[in-house]
Amino acid sequence: MKTMKTPFYIVIVAFMISSLSACNDFLDKEPISQITPDEYFNSETNANSAVIGMYRSMLNSFSFGQSIIIVPEFSAGHVSHASVYPEYENFRTNNIQVNNPWTNNMWQATYATINAANNIITRVPEMPESTISPEKKQQFVGEAKFVRALNYFFLVRAFGAIPLKTTATTEEENIAIPRSPVDQVYQQIITDLQDASTLPDNYGDDATSKGRATSFAAKALLAKVQLYDGQITGDYSQAASLSQEIINSQRFVLISDFASIWTTENTQESIFELQFDNQATNPLASVSNDNPSMLFYARGNTVYEKYTAEDKRRDFTVKSGSRDRFYIGKFPKASPPTQNLPVIRIAEIYLIHAEAQARTDGMISDAAYNSYKAVQGRAGLTSAPINSFGSVENFIIAVQEEKERELMFEGEAWFDFCRTGLALDRMLVKKDPNYYLYPIPSSQIVLNGELTQNPGY
């Protein structure tokens, strides 16, 4: 039987070597060009370098650096490609082919990062006490569990049941892993994030505290995961309580100038933010601005018209540009493209709380309404009265619509609307819930004979 080794170990070695040679400001800038993968775990410094390599594996164009963000925006009908490439446009029309290169690229890149995390989770606890402190052991493993959870969360939302690998893969290993049920994947993600919630709540400076996993980042992602898992279990209480805890901490605030979330870095709005710089540039930022290199742009007037004239977010998020097009405003740093990517920010936590609290209370409580109102207030909008929604269901739709506007071009609305079924009427061209999921890449089925295809493909 053929194996699925390539996505797990060959790709990650390339990512690790390239990323370790160009560290961010918050990283140790020691020479490491002579460190081989087998030597990452012989000192605390080298183990830290392995952790940094794991983070930086998410910066490439097949991962959070571009595809994981922009592909779901095609599915949501928010963006178009300048050359109308079918490989992208097919996501919008639900005509994705099983050999689409972008599903395969995202699959491989995500599993490469997961394997980097698995290596840390496996190898760091084995390090002798003389080489690393107990505190750093716990931190590095916690960070790896956060990153593993983040990447599995993307995979389970994008593909449904997926192979669940929690140990490091070696070149000699002959593996063919079947798909694990969705609820099992969610339980692993939840366990990882619960473990990661014991991480420090900060690391001193902003770039490190935002760019590395913290207890707040783990709890914020866990609140989001629990919201999705609530569709399976019917229990939204954990999503409500975790999001409320983060809001109550007052460590993160809705900053008054919406645009500054992207025009500056590591603001008080941001809970976890991927760090790009001159050495590790942002692939999406370089092709999403109003310049000759623009490939991705906002789709017609449809996105612009989702906002009212009073909405302070509109003219920054969806900018009128040349060639009679609207372009994506959330990537202003294009020359050089050093734009950071806020992966989790407090506005989303407010909206998670609004929905989860309403579901838990079985009513539009003041607590749920006030979280919804806070995000609208920052946008300069006057919220409809609490008694005007008529039902919890109508309130949840309003919250999701608000989340779509707030998180436009951040790769979230498609998955969020599929979660509740709202995508069936709002986003799907083919009105078939099978297309909530992307096809399992055909090349991966060839590599791993245990894989089966999603219905509809």
Q: Quick: pLDDT tens for 370-390.
A: 999 999 999 999 999 999 999
Asked whether residue 213 falls in the same domain as residue 330, the answer is no
The C-alpha atoms of residue 451 and residue 447 are separated, in whole angstroms, by: 9
pLDDT of residue 172: 67
Taking each helix axis as running N to C, give the angle between helix 101-123 and helix 44-56, from 0 to 180 degrees, rounded to the nearest 10. Answer: 160
Q: How confident is the model at residue 38, as a pLDDT?
A: 63
DSSP 8-state code for residue 279: S
- Alpha-carbon torsion (364, 367, 368, 374), positive or negative: positive
Does residue 72 fall inside a structural domain? yes
| DSSP class of 210 | H
Strand partners, 81: 296
> Backbone phi, then psi, for 99, in 5-degree steps?
-105, 20
Which letter, b or e, does each residue of 364-377 get, where b requires 16 or more Cβ atoms within 10 Å of its Cβ? Answer: bbebbbbbbbbbbe
Establish if 351 belongs to a structural domain: yes
- In 362-432, which residue ranges form alpha helices assigned H by DSSP? 366-378, 392-406, 413-420, 423-426
pLDDT at res. 48: 96
The DSSP-derived string for 42-109 is SSHHHHHHHHHHHHHTTSSTTTTTTHHHHHHHHHTT-EEETT--HHHHHHHHT---TT-HHHHHHHHH
For helices 44-56 and 11-20, what crossing angle results, to 10°? 110
Quote the tokens at residue 90: 């097919």
Q: Which pLDDT value is given to residue 175?
A: 74
> Which helix (H) or strand (E) element contains residue 384?
none
Domain, as residue range, for 333:
277-341
CB contact at 8 A, 201 and 251: yes
**What mean pLDDT do residues 42-47 have?**
95
Q: Is the CB of residue 213 less than 8 Å from the CB of residue 199?
A: yes
Q: What's the CATH code of the domain at 405?
A: 1.25.40.390
How many beta carbons lie within 10 A of that of residue 194, not counting itself?
15
Window from 18-27, 64-73, 180-189, 396-405 with minimum mean pLDDT:
18-27
In a domain, 449, yes or no: no
Does one domain contain both 287 and 212?
no
pLDDT tens-digit readout, 208-255? 999 999 999 999 999 999 999 999 999 999 999 999 999 999 999 999
Give a yes or no: residue 269 inside a domain. Answer: no
Last residue of a domain, one of 293, 323, 341: 341
The reply to whether 353 and 221 lie within a common domain is yes
Which residue from 435, 439, 432, 437 is spatially nearest to 98, judged by alpha carbons?
439
Q: Has residue 140 been placed in a domain?
A: yes
Reference 127, options 203, 199, 56, 46; nearest CA is: 46
Give the span between the Cα atoms of 296 and 171, in whole angstroms: 37
| From 145-159, 167-181, 211-225, the region with the lowest mean pLDDT | 167-181
Which range, of 2-6, 91-95, 290-294, 359-363, averages the lowest pLDDT? Answer: 2-6
Give yes or no: residues 300 and 428 share one domain. no
| Selection from 311, 283, 293, 299 nearest residue 409 by Cα | 299
Verify that 31 and 150 share a domain, yes or no.
yes
pLDDT value of position 174: 62
Residue 310, Cβ neighbours under 10 Å: how many? 10
Answer yes or no: do 164 and 127 share one domain.
Answer: yes
Separation of alpha carbons 365 and 29, rounded Å: 50
Q: If pLDDT is split at 50, 70 and 90, which confidence band does 4 have?
A: very low
Task: Quote the pLDDT of residue 36.
Answer: 54
The residue among 341, 363, 388 that closes a domain is 341
Considering the domain architecture, whether residues 387 and 310 belong to the same structural domain is answered as: no
Per the DSSP assignment, residues forming a β-bridge with 180 are 162
- Residue ending a domain, among 296, 314, 341, is 341
What pLDDT, on the 0 to 100 scale, is given for residue 206? 93
DSSP state of 160: S
Residues constituting the chain: 457
Regarding whether 418 and 359 lie in a shared domain, the answer is: yes
Average pLDDT over residues 6-29: 39
- Dist CA 41 CA 337 (whole Å): 33
Whether 457 is covered by a domain: the verdict is no
Q: Check whether 176 has a pLDDT greater than 60.
A: yes
Cβ atoms of 235 and 164 closer than 8 Å: no
Instruction: Tell me whether residue 160 is in a domain.
Output: yes
Number of domains forming the structure of the chain: 2
Pair 337, 363 in one domain: no
Greatest alpha-carbon pair distance for the chain in Å reads 65
Chain CA centroid to CA 211, Å: 14
Let me know whether 335 and 429 are in one domain.
no
Question: Do 125 and 231 belong to one domain?
Answer: yes
DSSP line for 281-323: --TTGGGSSSSTT--EEE-TTTTGGGS-TT-TTHHHHEEE-ST
Averaged pLDDT score across all residues of the chain = 91
Burial of 18: CB neighbours in 10 Å, binned 0-12, 13-18, 19+: middle
Given a cut of 80, whether residue 161 has pLDDT beyond it is yes
Rg of the chain over all Cα atoms, to the nearest angstrom: 21
| pLDDT tens-digit series, residues 402-447 | 999 999 999 999 999 999 999 999 999 999 999 999 999 999 999 9
Whether the predicted pLDDT of 300 surpasses 50: yes
Mean pLDDT value across residues 287-309: 92
Are 128 and 251 contained in the same domain? Answer: yes
pTM metric for this prediction: 0.93
Any domain includes 246: yes
